[in-house]
Amino acid sequence: MVDYRQIITIEPGKRGGKPCIRGMRIAVGDILSWLASGMTMDEIISDFPELTKDDIYASLAFAAHKENHLRIAA
């Protein structure tokens, strides 16, 4: 399993502080949206050759971690 903490970066001045891939301007949310729209990993990497499969797996792991730690205020 990919350790997303080694890949996902958050910089206040970049993309409004959204989690991004390795300091690039490609946000985790971008990757999740592309996957949700039906793009395959290979299609994403073809469109954005600076990305790797590990970057995509890190985005999924980051989202899973956030989902598993979601709390609803009562």
Give 6-63 pLDDT, tens digit per residue. Answer: 999 999 999 999 999 999 999 999 999 999 999 999 999 999 999 999 999 999 999 9
The CA-CA-CA angle for residues 61, 17, 62, to 5°, reads: 5
CB 23 within 8 A of CB 10: no
pTM for the structure as a whole: 0.89
In whole angstroms, what is the distance from residue 35 CA to residue 12 CA?
A: 25
- Whether 1 shows a pLDDT value over 90: the answer reads no
